[in-house]
Chains A and B, each alone.
Chain A
Amino acid sequence: MSSAIRVQLRCFSHVKHALGQDVVELHLPLDSTAADVECCVRAMLPQHLSSMVFRLALNHQVVDGSAAVHDGDEVALLPPMQGG
């Protein structure tokens, strides 16, 4: 059994601008949470985004950091939204 999971990170707005990609595949330990994903992604972001508050979406639903992440899940860090 593998000791890691793969999740697909969807990137939008400032996250996409910083990472230069729409989608990034992340490899995480088993038993990872949405907060672990955020931590991993924040480490890839530039300093000027360190104070930005993100919401976490797991398979198209907003979740809190304690949500368990599984192999094959789709995760997004959502910057402050700006519709209208």
Chain B
Amino acid sequence: MHGVFTRIIDGPLPPMSDDQQHDEDGAELVFHGRVRAGERGRAIVALEYEVYREMAEMELRRLAQEAVARFPISSLHCLHRVGRVDVGDASLRVIIWSKHRSEALQAIEWFIAALKDRVPIWKWGVTAEGDRFPS
């Protein structure tokens, strides 16, 4: 699928499909953001991602469209999980296709920084004892 594709999803990330529609692109850059075992200096077993869904879906799509307009890339797909994500599991997947690697690398750096700044999603740490705290 060319262009942009964005989703906020409640369950695990689906397996990656073998995309055969990018014959003109020499770069396929895949990024997975994973949950670390520590948050704010505390050991955790999971993060719970909280979302302002009505805003976040719009803003995520807007950002992806902005990235495709700003950088010479052909497609950007982004899936962001919300709800509980255990340590070691991926919460975010971004895939960018472009003719060459440099524009994809620049675009992904910009896109993820913008996502962290503008998409209303927040993290709550979950400890082994079951405590939850806003990060």
The answer to whether residues A83 and B80 also contact, given A13-B122, A17-B134 and a CB cut-off of 8 A, is yes
Q: Which of A26-34, A35-43, A73-81 contacts B (4 or more CB under 8 A)?
A: A73-81
Would you mind naming 12 contact pairs between A and B with Cβ atoms under 8 Å apart? A12-B120, A14-B134, A17-B134, A61-B55, A76-B120, A81-B118, A81-B119, A81-B122, A82-B121, A82-B135, A83-B92, A83-B119
Contact count A vs B, C-beta below 8 Å: 56
**In the docked arrangement, what's the CA distance between A14 and B125, Å?**
12
A24 to chain B minimum Cβ distance, whole angstroms, is 15
Categorize the interface residue count of chain B: 20 to 34
Contacting pair A12 B50 (CB below 8 A): yes
Report which of B92, B120, B135 forms a contact with A57, defined as CB distance below 8 A.
B120
Report which of A12, A17, A84 forms a contact with B52, defined as CB distance below 8 A.
A12
